[in-house]
Amino acid sequence: MNEVVSPIAIAQALDACWSPKVIAELDDSYVKVAKVLGTLAWHSHDDEDELFVVLRGTLRIEMENRAVELHDGDAFVVPRGVRHNPVADAECLIMLIERKSTLHTGREVTAKTRSIAEQL
Q: Which of 62, 66, 106 is nearest to 88 (CA)?
A: 62
- Asked if the model's pLDDT at residue 115 lies above 80, the reply is no
The span from the CA of 87 to the CA of 30, in Å, is 22
Which residues lie closer than 8 Å to 70 by C-beta, 6 or more apart? Answer: 52, 54, 58, 59, 60, 61, 76
Q: What is the DSSP string of 48-71?
A: --EEEEEEES-EEEEESS-EEEE-
Domains of the chain and CATH, by start: 7-106 (2.60.120.10)
Q: Which of 106, 37, 114 is nearest to 78 (CA)?
A: 106
Q: What is the pLDDT of residues 33-70, one digit of tens each?
A: 999 999 999 999 999 999 999 999 999 999 999 999 99
Q: 10 Å Cβ neighbour count for 68? A: 14
More confident residue, 29 or 112: 29
Burial (CB count <10 Å: 0-12, 13-18, 19+), residue 22: middle
What DSSP designation does 28 have?
A: T
Give yes or no for a contact between 84 and 78, defined as CB atoms under 8 angstroms apart: yes
Alpha-helical segments (H) within 1-120: 7-13, 116-119
**pTM, to two decimals:** 0.90
Task: Read off the pLDDT of each residue in 7-22 and give the average, rounded to a whole number.
Answer: 96
